[in-house]
A and B are shown apart, each in its own frame.
Chain A
């Protein structure tokens, strides 16, 4: 009962399908799950298993073909685009495999951006703290194209955390990094997860990373195949 009250994310019968020619192809098929607040959850599976699609549906980046998503007790499935935008801005952080920094903004500006959208007067201070925390303060004026892969991902993590989100979604955050940088990024995410108490939902196919999580949800061909550590 106690665990139920701490649930931050619920998915009920999530299905996502796309028309391919004259037939419909299901990428995700009737997936249901719940995630407790503060958990570090890995969504694992081989390439094409539906990890990224599940992540986009859980985070409100995309809408399911059927099923419902409930975040912090609020059904977000039918929220308007602007409603979802506000939710993403205030309650969710993202870290992507390809970093997806805004190319026209420098490191500091990229980190500040979500806070500025919220009209947070302390955006600059918060961004500075975060960049110092990840050791990139000296590189704050650099634009994405002037940063290395590891640096870009650290900036992306700072940007994801600046609004103190309830949930942090990370999609293959080490997919474009070498092993040294990969370890550093996972260490950083784990530390920040601990420091901020943020729920971390991380999609990966790496078994090394999976070992560090509290819970591993495995997907196979768009279906939930196992759920370890519940």
Chain B
């Protein structure tokens, strides 16, 4: 039976601490609720509109012209079944204005009449796309007009012909999200495709056939299975709109996964906040609890009542958290502006709210267990003594903690939807908190040894060790949260510095693609200086030591897969930034291997497929099988924007394979436009990428994503602030006593205020100093060992973080202590003496 009046009175009396506890619970689930709701809405809009997003019911895809067998199978289907199909070709190409002074790298899409099968291509004029895009005409994105200085009706050079711009595309159904694209869209009709002369042997073209089926999913699956039997393995892919891997979905999956990690981290810190505020509250109430025990209340009375109180507050916290999560969810589209799939609708979901309640309940129970469990250790004799309750564990303690930890792990794994990462995350977070906790002990212990002369500073430092002060919890929480934020910043800044900003002045800034073998000499002459040409032969890896490579083989971190198409090359020497990691030389001089053909493998791809020297790899080069033995594993000495190849063959073996060439060239900034024009005019099939421009675009995207990540990570700082406020409330009486004693002994309010300011200054400085140490160590490790890039510590930013943290903590601390500073000594003394 519950003593409701007692519960109510306890709640009213401890309302400030209760508010902090409620906010901690709300904080712990709000980001998860927001993220899960947002994720589900985005996924619903992606999957719900998968047909539009993919452009058809069945999608056939190849990097080579479709085989005769598959083309025939599609034609048969179109004739015999209720099937309608359209062909599309996508590739990059440089276009130029007819005046010849400007060029632009674009994503060209040649489509048949009837495209799109689902959704609409929306045009600025509002006219139907099918009626606008005819032979000799072109529809472009606004960016094309802006950058080439053209208008609708102007002619434009594409490949070998001049076409007329007839409209501007404002929305394209199967490319709804502009995550990152190398160039704006240009639509041409397939009737012009041959005239363009842009598709040469070995050119990078995405061949697509999109099919619309008049039937249900079972029919679609059956037809797709039938086509898959005809498709050339490893070359032609047949997917339904449900199985096709959308780049958009992959992007959001990865982003949401990372944000989930941060949200769970916030949940952990807020959990520590819950535990700290409850423990501090119970510690302050120890005497009252001892009185109740002295009155004859059994241990279960206190446990039952405080559990009820905690669950009640937890429920309020969950409801507040769900409401806050819903608000945050509706703010997220602002952060994701332009990245979201069109028509993403945000709706309230009962399931998401239920999940939020469940997560909140589990978190509350797990993090409040310890303080509640310790209630049993409060002895009635504590009325007479000031010693704190002993922390005897009892036989149920460890099984319950272990069980709680397991439940929490399941929750984390479920949220991340990945067992291994979930376990790593739990281990990593526990290690971070443990490490921060140990370092906090060290810092506090060392600080005690340092003699402090000024009285107010000395008193402030001693206040850190006031019984009941949550000093360690505050430092651990703030330091952990800040270290994660700073690590994200440092890693992102170092990555940007390596790949985007610090583009070496002499590094190649123009990459030329699809140079045909017969264009080599003329191309070199046009460049006018020595050009490094890399042969490129496109192929798939089929087996490793006879074992077929699988889709899931690859590097999740790099977002790479062994089943994708690779660019092979041939040469007999190492590049300037390569060294041999395993093996004696790039290739064996004698033909002693079991297979005559040799291949050198880059260490990154070797790790993905667990490849070693002497392993046998089988490739498929445009339908031709090729076996090779690994003779060496190479590694790169620098991470930079410079061409590299996973698989390198000896020149003599692949010299005659179907190939194109790739060139990376440094061109003076002023000369780029002129060179681009000459290349487009002389070699319309050759595409080029301005890497400096691309890097700037990538930098912009990175900065936007960093804002999203920081927004989520910022919530973890709130957890630290709540713990500070909770700690001040919980030690209010002790602080009042101190303030009163200072005043009785003759100090003014200014001295009391300075003691409080210094106390929080210590907290802020210790936390941020620790955060900087952890973040520097972590970021250095990540850059050095994970990303393999150089590291710059960015000390001014660290200093700024320390100053901002100190200001924040002092501000929060002093604001929460104002009523304490104003206390009148006489009133406090009267209360203390029981008068």
Query: Measuring CB to CB, which residues of chain A are less than 8 angstroms from any residue of chain B?
Result: 52, 56, 61-62, 81-82, 85-90, 92, 94, 96, 98-105, 109, 113-114, 116-119, 145, 148-149, 152, 159, 163, 171, 176
- List chain B residues, Cβ under 8 A from A176: 833-835
On chain B, which size bracket covers the interface?
Answer: 20 to 34
Segment touching A, from B8-16, B403-411, B709-717, B773-781: B8-16
Taking a contact as CB atoms under 8 Å apart, the answer to whether B834 and A89 are in contact is no
- List chain A residues, Cβ under 8 A from B376: 81
A118 to B294 CA separation, bound complex (whole angstroms): 14
Known pairs A61-B380, A61-B383, A103-B13; A90 contacts B295 (CB<8 A): no
Residue of A nearest to B288 (CB): A102
Taking a contact as CB atoms under 8 Å apart, the answer to whether B301 and A117 are in contact is yes
Taking a contact as CB atoms under 8 Å apart, the answer to whether B298 and A113 are in contact is no
Beyond the given A88-B296, A113-B6, please list 10 additional residue pairs across the A-B interface where CB-CB is below 8 A: A52-B384, A62-B379, A62-B381, A89-B296, A94-B294, A98-B834, A103-B288, A113-B292, A117-B3, A118-B296
Known pairs A100-B294, A104-B6, A119-B1; A81 contacts B299 (CB<8 A): yes
Considering the complex, which residues of chain B in the window 415-454 have a beta carbon less than 8 Å from any beta carbon of chain A?
A: none
Would you give the shortest CB distance from A13 to chain B, in whole angstroms? 20
6 A-B pairs closest in CB distance: A89-B296, A104-B9, A62-B381, A104-B13, A176-B834, A88-B296
A82 to B297 CA separation, bound complex (whole angstroms): 8
Q: Assess whether B287 is interfacial by the CB under 8 Å rule.
A: yes
Contact with A along B794-832 (1 / 0, CB 8 A): 000000000000000000000000000000000000010
Q: Assess whether B300 is interfacial by the CB under 8 Å rule.
A: yes
- List chain B residues, Cβ under 8 A from A96: 383
Would you give the shortest CB distance from A145 to chain B, in whole angstroms? 7
* The residue from A105, A119, A152 contacting B9, defined by CB atoms under 8 A apart: A105
Known pairs A104-B288, A113-B6, A176-B835; A85 contacts B13 (CB<8 A): no
Known pairs A88-B380, A103-B288, A109-B5; A149 contacts B298 (CB<8 A): no
- List chain B residues, Cβ under 8 A from A109: 5-6, 9
A230 to B388 CA separation, bound complex (whole angstroms): 39
Would you give the shortest CB distance from A104 to chain B, in whole angstroms? 4
Query: Measuring CB to CB, which residues of chain B are less than 8 angstroms from any residue of chain A?
Result: 1, 3, 5-6, 9-10, 12-14, 287-288, 291-301, 376, 379-381, 383-384, 831, 833-835
A52 to B383 CA separation, bound complex (whole angstroms): 11
Residue of A nearest to B835 (CB): A149
Taking a contact as CB atoms under 8 Å apart, the answer to whether A102 and B292 are in contact is yes
Taking a contact as CB atoms under 8 Å apart, the answer to whether A117 and B295 are in contact is yes
A56 to B380 CA separation, bound complex (whole angstroms): 9
Taking a contact as CB atoms under 8 Å apart, the answer to whether B296 and A86 are in contact is yes
A96 to B816 CA separation, bound complex (whole angstroms): 34
Would you give the shortest CB distance from A71 to chain B, in whole angstroms? 14
Could you tell me the dominant secondary structure of chain B's interface residues? helix
- List chain A residues, Cβ under 8 A from B9: 102, 104-105, 109
Would you give the shortest CB distance from B5 to chain A, in whole angstroms? 6
Would you give the shortest CB distance from B13 to chain A, in whole angstroms? 4
Taking a contact as CB atoms under 8 Å apart, the answer to whether A85 and B288 are in contact is no
Show 17 residue pairs from A and B whose CB-CB distance is below 8 angstroms, ordered by the A residue. Answer: A52-B384, A61-B379, A81-B298, A85-B298, A86-B296, A89-B295, A89-B297, A98-B834, A100-B291, A102-B9, A104-B9, A105-B6, A113-B292, A114-B295, A117-B296, A117-B301, A149-B833
- List chain A residues, Cβ under 8 A from B13: 103-104
Would you give the shortest CB distance from A10 to chain B, in whole angstroms? 20
Would you give the shortest CB distance from A175 to chain B, in whole angstroms? 9
* The residue from B5, B296, B383, B384 contacting A85, defined by CB atoms under 8 A apart: B296
Residue of A nearest to B296 (CB): A89
- List chain B residues, Cβ under 8 A from A87: 296
- List chain A residues, Cβ under 8 A from B383: 61, 96, 98, 100
- List chain A residues, Cβ under 8 A from B300: 82
A101 to B290 CA separation, bound complex (whole angstroms): 11
- List chain A residues, Cβ under 8 A from B6: 102, 104-105, 109, 113
* The residue from B287, B297, B380, B835 contacting A117, defined by CB atoms under 8 A apart: B297
Would you give the shortest CB distance from B669 to chain A, in whole angstroms? 74
- List chain B residues, Cβ under 8 A from A148: 835
- List chain B residues, Cβ under 8 A from A114: 295-296
Residue of B nearest to A88 (CB): B296
A61 to B297 CA separation, bound complex (whole angstroms): 12
* The residue from A52, A88, A99, A116 contacting B294, defined by CB atoms under 8 A apart: A88
Residue of B nearest to A92 (CB): B296
A114 to B379 CA separation, bound complex (whole angstroms): 17
A104 to B291 CA separation, bound complex (whole angstroms): 12
Taking a contact as CB atoms under 8 Å apart, the answer to whether B295 and A88 are in contact is yes
- List chain B residues, Cβ under 8 A from A82: 298-300
Taking a contact as CB atoms under 8 Å apart, the answer to whether A86 and B298 are in contact is yes
- List chain B residues, Cβ under 8 A from A119: 1
Would you give the shortest CB distance from A86 to chain B, in whole angstroms? 7
A145 to B830 CA separation, bound complex (whole angstroms): 10
Would you give the shortest CB distance from B828 to chain A, in whole angstroms? 12
- List chain B residues, Cβ under 8 A from A101: 291
- List chain B residues, Cβ under 8 A from A105: 5-6, 9
Taking a contact as CB atoms under 8 Å apart, the answer to whether A85 and B10 are in contact is no
- List chain B residues, Cβ under 8 A from A104: 6, 9-10, 12-14, 288
- List chain B residues, Cβ under 8 A from A171: 384
A138 to B292 CA separation, bound complex (whole angstroms): 25
Residue of B nearest to A163 (CB): B296
A143 to B6 CA separation, bound complex (whole angstroms): 13
- List chain B residues, Cβ under 8 A from A100: 287, 291, 294, 383
Known pairs A100-B287, A102-B288, A105-B9; A85 contacts B299 (CB<8 A): yes
Find the residue from B5, B6, B295 having the highest chain A CB count within 10 A. Answer: B295
